[in-house]
Chains A and B, each alone.
Chain A
Amino acid sequence: MRDFAALVRNGEVHRDVYTSSAVFDHEMTHLFAATWVFVGHASQIPNIGDFTTTTLGVAPVIMVRHTDKTIHVLHNRCPHKGTRVANDPCGNTGRFFRCPYHAWSFRTDGSVAAIPLPTGYAETQFKQSEAAGGMRPVGAVHSYRDFVFARLNSAGIGFDDYFGASLSSIDNMVDRSPEGRLEIAGGVLRYMHQCNWKMLVENLTDTCHPMVAHESSAGTAIAMAKALPGKHPAVEIYAPFMSPYAFYENMGIRVWPNGHGHTGVHGSIHSDYSAVPGYFDQMVAAYGEDRARAILDENRHNTVYFPNMTMKGPIQSLRIFKPIAADRTLVESWTFRLVGAPDQLLERTILYSRLINAPTSPVGHDDQEMYERAQDSLQSDSNPWVNMQRLLGADETEETAEANGTSERQMRNQFHAWQRFMTVAP
């Protein structure tokens, strides 16, 4: 077998991590099986029988609210012939899933409820078969403040060990609700990229590109705003993208073990948005003034939940980068309502997501152009290495650390974790 760990060396990664289908296949069977991957949000399935369908790596799964109200994550495959049982993005299945091919039915914990003509199996060893186990649950499921993660492997690193202090970014996003609760809202933007999923994740903590790649959108917005009589809400979102390098250096980066990390330790491009009337008073009433200020002064930029989910607490949005092939990635942009907070916050969340993280976003277009040009040109054999050396320290480990905000430390942190989880036995 190929030595996957050798694809990463000090400050450089081999281009095959982006272009090779063999590497991609191994990521799906090892990395995405051994890590805790984001599945969905509990507010998507409030009632018994509610479900959503998604993928963990490339494995199709169902997240469902079971009859006892607990959340289960099942492989979306009939144990009989392999047919995908639930085909809609979301819905309510009642107390049972029923396969449309031969009407095998399953409880919402995956166990077999009924098989037509059961006498046909009476004289067989069916009870010892794989099929008798029903729709298999994934290896492990954990919901943290309504964010549901799953691990495909039945044994492996525990949830708390895997995420550790990185859960503080989820905490901050949830705490921004005066009721301490989020609801998915507004709809999901989906868009397709002809590039490797890791390029997108790496871009989230790449602070040396906004003022370059996004000058045509953010720079134009700033120039046009000078002629405006008042303020336009889009300008306050676009303008910070043109901040100078020093601004991003001072934002800082924090890395955590297992590939997680975030930009914006000391404020970020999200720090100076206009106050929404009434919101701060609601927060003070809920938390007291000191705590309310502490929550709202934490303006993290992008948090990476390794391997493929990223979130923006101050914006209440997250993105999932779903791997489809070595050169194909589906992006989903999700938005959340801070339960109990004014509607204007959700309005800003939705505006931000459309302006920056949509298939129709000019910012998104220029990012996509960079990834796809890289995906194509990495075919060149002239230099098989991609550079991630910026502000590389002498002896970087995966321990929690803070760095200059223009460091590529978080990209290296992801690849440290990538090396380890690519070589974990399934």
Chain B
Amino acid sequence: MTDADIIGFIRHEARLIDEQRFDEWLDLFTDDGRYWMPLDPDQTDWKLQQSLYNEDVFLLRLRCERLKSAKTYSQKPKSRCHHLLQTPEITRDGANFSTWTAFHYLETRLDEQTLYAGWSRHSLVEIDRKPRIQLKRIDLVNQDSAFAGIQLFM
């Protein structure tokens, strides 16, 4: 797995979200994968400390299935989103590797558009010569702000 492969993977992941190809996006996670957005930048506990997101694959899939439902009223009309990524920094540890990616993320619906900024850290493993996400941790720069509702994925 070259650095270019890994950088390409991170870009591809963001593109799948932006194009709302959520089933393909979910396939990037391992079976025990997790999507985590802590409430505190120093947080290490996701059980007894609150988080904005702490989703195993079941909960992520539930969100994606809900987005397809005809009765998802908060998505009438639908939200759209846009990622702008900085080039990921890569750290290797044997067969495992992790990336650190600064990002801007924009979510929009009707006439409202909200900009979020932060850093995502992917813990990746190689399975069948492809990277898979074991943990995607997202730290927003303003994780303690009162948000108006984040409906898609960063």
Residues of chain A at the chain B interface (Cβ within 8 Å): 185-194, 213, 215-217, 219-221, 224, 228, 232, 234, 330-331, 335, 343, 346-347, 350, 353-354, 358-360, 362, 364-366, 368-370
Contact = CB atoms under 8 A, between A and B. Distances in A.
Contacts of B73: 213, 216, 366, 369-370
A187 B50 contact: yes
Interface stretch (B17-25, B63-71, B83-91, B121-129): B63-71
B148 A350 contact: no
Contacts of A360: 37, 52-53, 147, 149-150
Contacts, number: 100
Given A194-B148, A359-B150, 15 more contacts: A187-B39, A189-B39, A189-B50, A191-B146, A217-B66, A221-B62, A232-B58, A331-B146, A354-B54, A358-B52, A362-B62, A362-B63, A365-B149, A365-B151, A366-B72
Ordered nearest first, which 10 A-B pairs have the shortest CB separation?
Answer: A365-B74, A190-B146, A369-B74, A359-B147, A187-B50, A216-B72, A216-B69, A186-B50, A192-B146, A187-B39
A157 B150 CA distance: 41
Interface residues of B, number: 32
Given A191-B146, A350-B49, A228 B71 contact: no
A180 to B, nearest CB: 21
Nearest to B64: A220
Contacts of A220: 62, 65-66, 69
Interface of B: 37, 39-40, 47-54, 58-59, 61-63, 65-66, 69, 71-74, 76, 144-151
A191 B148 CA distance: 6
Residue of B48, B145, B149 ringed by the most chain A CB atoms within 10 A? B149
A317 B29 CA distance: 32
A192 B150 CA distance: 11
Given A190-B145, A234-B58, A362-B66, A368 B74 contact: yes
B149 A354 contact: no
B74 to A, nearest CB: 4
Contact of B148 (A343, A359, A370): A359
A346 B47 CA distance: 8
A354 B62 CA distance: 14
A368 B59 contact: no
B66 A190 contact: no
B48 A343 contact: yes
A360 B52 CA distance: 6
